[in-house]
Amino acid sequence: MPRLYIETFGCQMNEADSQYIADRAAASGYTIATRPEDANVLLLNTCTVRDNAERRAYGRMNHFKVLKDDDPSRRIVVMGCLAEQDRDRMQRIAPHVDAVFGTKELVELGDRLAAWEPDFAELDFAADGALLEPLGGTADAVSDAFSHLRAFVNVQRGCSYYCSFCIVPHVRGRFDHRPLDDILAEARSKVAAGARELMLVGQTVNAWKDPATGAGFGELCAAAAAIPNLERLSFISPHPKDFSEAVIARMASVPKLNPRLHLPLQSFADPVLRRMNRKYTAAQFREKVALARHYLPRWAITTDIIVGFPGETEDDFEATLAFVRENVFANAYTFMYSIRRGTPAARWEQVPEATVRARFGRLVDAQNAATRAYHDRKVGGIERGLIVGPSKKDASKLAIKALDNVTLIAPKPDDYDPERYAREPWLDVAIEAAHVWGCTGRIVARATRFAEAGVRVRPPLVDLLAAGTTAR
């Protein structure tokens, strides 16, 4: 049976595309390999949002070349934003790549995999442990025992907003909103396949409009939440401009929505926001936060911030820093500005690197304090979250995502069994300690359905022994 390995870099849009390709390949008779050396087709789903992601993708292509040298019948396929941007260049500098599929050619890629399938019937491959070094991509989205629990559904492709630092509109094109009926049909099929939580994915997801009726994002959330057996709903990545009061109020009426609002700030200085072409001012952003606090009082607000955008002055940066110090954000993805070929900001005078690094350090310190304070408030409580799988850093522990997207790590209970926990995936974690990255604790119960009371679980044997020692 042919085997496909998919490694995904970048955003949830790419993870959704990888899931789509995995589903198409499975329908054509492939199995999904968890290691590249076990596969006949190696698929790299690439990102170009930052220079680092681009370099890592080319590095990974070189690693795949070693596997192909070992067996020339292997196919290497590259898809995603870098494939779209670098189609010609890639064929020049990575000639071992067999095929390149741009962001609008997913269906064609699925067709090609189906056509390749018969060629692979007799093949077998030896393992090569040297190629297991992780380089930043991940195969998790499509290939582990729990990945079906949290499914992505694309609602829109492309973006028409043309932020001056962003490559997305250039490689993915302008908005192309998917019809509501198509979205709901895919969502239903993912729930039927075992998804407990759906994530609606779009580059500017809350700008979504049904092409036929003009229904907006609030209606989409309500319609998706009404799917029988769906337990939780989330979305990524919205734009502050498209969170009107009506949309936020509508979201507040959908209890299945996870209580996390991602509101990408980028900067809190108007001159920078103007040059970024972000379409809101600092004051308007503050109004969005106030609306969220009013209608969604218990939701966590998270954000993205870019430091060192061309022309950012010390005063501009201080404005962003002061806003972050108001503890607005439960978490933030912070970035040093990096030049993206083909975007307007790439041609502008850059802030010196040392200045950017120094500002970045100060911003990270400020946000880390806010994030840690947010996590501290969880200590002593119990959080229910959906299992992600074994912790990557310590296989004796499980990773769980709380509803507000905070990572929880806890020792595997004594009755841990992947199949059972995939059927009973809601875990109650007694939070014992807070960290910047998330929280640690003990799993005290598991539940089949989100809304059901949990069944108590036995703590790991090692914990019982420790408790016995303490009692003596």
Residue ranges in contact with ligand SF4 by CB under 6 A: 159, 161-163, 166, 168-169, 203-204, 239
Of 120 and 161, CB closest to ligand SF4: 161
Of 156 and 405, CB closest to ligand SF4: 156
Q: 38-61 burial by CB neighbour count: b if 16+ within 10 A, else e?
A: ebbbbbbbbbbbbeebbebbbebb
Of 167 and 319, CB closest to ligand SF4: 167
Residue 102's closest CA among 86, 115, 114, 117?
Answer: 86
Residues 6+ apart with CB under 8 A from 453: 445, 447
Of 172 and 401, CB closest to ligand SF4: 172
Q: CB-hemisphere CA count at 13 Å for 443?
A: 33
Q: How far is the CB of 455 from ligand SF4 (least distance, A)?
A: 42
Q: Are strands 75-80 and 41-46 parallel, antiparallel or unpaired?
A: parallel
Residue type at 315 in one-letter notation: D
Q: How far is the CB of 103 from ligand SF4 (least distance, A)?
A: 12
Q: How far is the CB of 222 from ligand SF4 (least distance, A)?
A: 24
Q: In what order do the strands lie in the sheet with 232-236?
A: 150-154, 197-201, 232-236
Q: How far is the CB of 184 from ligand SF4 (least distance, A)?
A: 24
**Could you write out the DSSP letters of every residue in 213-276?**
T---HHHHHHHHHTSTT--EEEEE---GGG--HHHHHHHHT-TTB-SEEE---B-S-HHHHHHH
Of 141 and 167, CB closest to ligand SF4: 167
Q: How far is the CB of 241 from ligand SF4 (least distance, A)?
A: 8
Of 13 and 445, CB closest to ligand SF4: 13
Q: How far is the CB of 141 from ligand SF4 (least distance, A)?
A: 20
Residues 6+ apart with CB under 8 A from 277: 161, 162, 163, 164
Of 200 and 398, CB closest to ligand SF4: 200
**Phi, psi (degrees; rounded to nearest 5) at 75:** -110, 140
Q: How far apart, in whole angstroms, are the C-alpha atoms of residue 289 and residue 326?
A: 12
Residue type at 43 in one-letter notation: L
Q: How far is the CB of 168 from ligand SF4 (least distance, A)?
A: 4
